Amino acid sequence: MKKTEAGAVARSPLHLTRRHFIGACAIGMVAAALPFNAFAQATSNAPPPALAQAIADHFSATRTMQGAFVQFGPRGDQTGGRFFIERPGKMRFNYDDPSPMRVISDGYNVVVGNSQLKTWNTYPLSKTPLTLLLASKIDLSADMVRSVKVEPELTTIVLGSRTIFGDSTITMMFDSKTYDLRQWTVTDNQGKDTSVVISNVKTNVAFDESVFKIPSDTSARH
């Protein structure tokens, strides 16, 4: 994915853009205590446990979500804000001040913008792990399932597609009893995790279409 510099509001403009883009792909609790190899016993070649499919169906049926988040980056950096999701394909992250960053997906593209500098970076949604999370239905029989792990408290589902976005994966953790989303972590091609804690989550709420509208001045910045 080709990126353009978004202006200096951190040590490196490109690093800031990339960090917030990956952050937009990550909702949930910190995954440091859950190493990737802990999921190795389950693969996409085996049918998923019935509970995992039931959770995926429940999550797919949740058409909209909103709430607060605290994002943890791979270097220990921490930012917060509010998120909005509408399936299929739409998402918005508003970061709290003093961060000027906004991340918006309109169902086709994901843009990372700096509201102070009025600069944007654009990514095709289909080339990011978000395309799996924001799909109309999470189908655990698909080849994109890397692993499924069912425990009494948590059910963990790891999705990825090397043909679409290389070695990046998205890990979702759900409460095994309520089926609520507890974690959504993106692991990039270098094995670095970005995770976010969510709270005050409301589901199946109505959004104005302007929430997911990409500003018209982003077309020249890919």
Instruction: Output the tens digit of pLDDT for each of the chain's 222 residues.
Output: 433 333 333 333 444 455 555 555 553 222 222 222 223 333 444 556 788 888 888 888 889 999 999 888 888 888 899 999 999 999 999 999 888 888 999 999 999 988 888 888 998 998 887 787 788 887 776 677 888 888 999 888 888 877 766 778 888 888 889 988 877 788 888 888 888 778 888 999 999 989 999 887 655 344
Which tokens is 87 given? 């399936």
- 59: phi then psi, degrees, rounded to nearest 5: -65, -40
Which tokens is 158 given? 């790891």
The Cα–Cα gap between 98 and 11 comes to 15
pLDDT at position 28, please?
A: 29
Tokens 């005050």, residue located:
200
How many angstroms separate the first and last alpha carbons of the chain? 9
Length of the chain: 222
pLDDT at position 22, please?
A: 55
144: closest CA among 134, 129, 156, 123?
129
Buried b (16+ CB within 10 A) or exposed e, 155-165: bbbbbbbeeeb
The Cα–Cα gap between 213 and 61 comes to 23
Distances (CA, A) of 1 to 5, 104, 203: 13, 17, 32
- The pTM score is 0.72
pLDDT at position 14, please?
A: 42
pLDDT at position 27, please?
A: 36
